[in-house]
């Protein structure tokens, strides 16, 4: 068992690099100055941008304390900055009471919308019988009108047959022209009937309100 393992190991060493050619790389140690406090100079033109500003000073004070040379009172935000921070906190981090009041107002609004929707549905359901009856009446009127139009067309066909003596196509110009003339005559007759009825009504009203003359008195006046 050991012989095959030795052969395999010898072949593996033959195909790999030799030890001197695979010498390890020894990097130089990083020069770190861990003694004291490193405080960059913001006025230095080579200073990094993140080494400037109150955020980095607050970081230095948080890490080194008084040894950083940063005065803690200058880290406190200015009034306008404090107002901006308070506004952001009120907008993005509301208090528990505000959150509960918002949830309650939202629930009330949803309940109000639900009640309005239920009231609308109830009102529509109450109107449903009348709407169905109106729809049925409209269908009946449409069928009646269709019957009247069909009867009118048949009557006009008979009139045209009597007038021309042959069967006339309802789509022909002669039939359409005759239909217009007959409709004009019917409207004229209807207007005449209405005018006569109006005159009769006026005459009846005038007769009803006519002032009768006083009757003659046969009695003589006293002497």
What dihedral angle (degrees, nearest 10) is formed by the CA atoms of 64, 68, 70, 73?
Answer: 30
Which of 128, 160, 192 represents a domain boundary (last residue)? 160
Same domain, 124 and 178: no
Which of 104, 128, 160 represents a domain boundary (last residue)? 160
Asked if pLDDT for residue 1 goes beyond 60, the answer is no
Rounded CA separation 54/62 (Å)? 12
Same domain, 149 and 184: no
Give the pLDDT of residue 93.
84
- Answer whether residue 109 is part of any domain: yes
Give helix then strand counts, H and E, for the chain: 5, 0
- Answer whether residue 128 is part of any domain: yes
pLDDT class for 35, splitting at 50, 70, 90? low
Give the pLDDT of residue 58.
87
Same domain, 156 and 100: yes
- Answer whether residue 68 is part of any domain: no
- Answer whether residue 152 is part of any domain: yes
The residue length of the chain stands at 223
Which of 160, 191, 214 represents a domain boundary (last residue)? 160
Same domain, 155 and 101: yes
Give the pLDDT of residue 95.
83
Asked if pLDDT for residue 27 goes beyond 60, the answer is yes
Question: Mean pLDDT across the stretch 54-75?
Answer: 84
Q: What is the DSSP string of 54-71?
A: HHHHHHHHHHHGGGG---
Asked if pLDDT for residue 32 goes beyond 60, the answer is no
- Answer whether residue 136 is part of any domain: yes
CB 42 within 8 A of CB 51: yes
Same domain, 199 and 155: no
Same domain, 152 and 178: no
Same domain, 119 and 153: yes
CB 50 within 8 A of CB 58: no
Same domain, 141 and 195: no
pTM comes to: 0.34
Same domain, 100 and 154: yes
Residues 6+ positions from 94 with CB-CB distance below 8 Å? 102
Q: What is the DSSP string of 143-179?
A: HHHHHHHHHHHHHHHHHHHHHHSS---TTSHHHHHHH
pLDDT class for 215, splitting at 50, 70, 90? low
Question: Mean pLDDT across the stretch 60-86?
Answer: 85
pLDDT class for 13, splitting at 50, 70, 90? low
Rounded CA separation 181/12 (Å)? 118
- Answer whether residue 66 is part of any domain: no
Same domain, 129 and 185: no
Question: Mean pLDDT across the stretch 41-52?
Answer: 78
Structural domains counted in the chain:
2
Give the pLDDT of residue 64.
83
Rounded CA separation 171/151 (Å)? 16
Question: Which residues constitute the domain of residue 139?
Answer: 96-160
Same domain, 155 and 175: no
Residue among 74, 82, 80 nearest 57 (CA): 74
- Answer whether residue 193 is part of any domain: yes
Tens of pLDDT, residue by residue over 162-193, are 766 666 666 777 777 777 777 788 788 888 88
- Answer whether residue 59 is part of any domain: no
Tens of pLDDT, residue by residue over 79-123, are 888 898 888 888 888 888 888 999 999 999 999 999 999 999 999
């Amino acid at each position: 068992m050991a012989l095959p393992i030795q052969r395999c190991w010898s072949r593996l060493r033959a195909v790999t690099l030799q030890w001197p050619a695979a010498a390890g790389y020894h990097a130089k140690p990083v020069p770190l100055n861990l003694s004291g406090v490193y405080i960059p100079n913001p006025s230095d033109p080579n200073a990094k941008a993140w080494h400037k500003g109150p955020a980095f000073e607050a970081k230095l004070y948080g890490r080194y304390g008084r040894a950083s040379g940063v005065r803690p009172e200058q880290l406190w935000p200015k009034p306008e900055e404090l107002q901006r921070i308070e506004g952001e906190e009120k907008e993005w981090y509301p208090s528990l009471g505000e959150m509960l009041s918002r949830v309650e107002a939202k629930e009330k609004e949803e309940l109000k919308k639900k009640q309005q929707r239920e009231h609308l549905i109830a009102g529509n359901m109450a109107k449903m019988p009348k709407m169905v009856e109106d729809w049925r009446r409209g269908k009946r009127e449409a069928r009646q009108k269709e019957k009247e139009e069909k009867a009118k067309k048949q009557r006009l066909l008979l009139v045209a047959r009597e007038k021309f003596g042959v069967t006339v196509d309802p789509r022909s110009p002669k039939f359409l022209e005759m239909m217009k003339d007959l409709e004009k005559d019917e409207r004229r007759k209807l207007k005449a009937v209405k005018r006569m009825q109006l005159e009769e009504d006026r005459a009846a009203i005038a007769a009803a309100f006519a002032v009768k003359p006083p009757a003659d008195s046969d009695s003589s006046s006293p002497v």
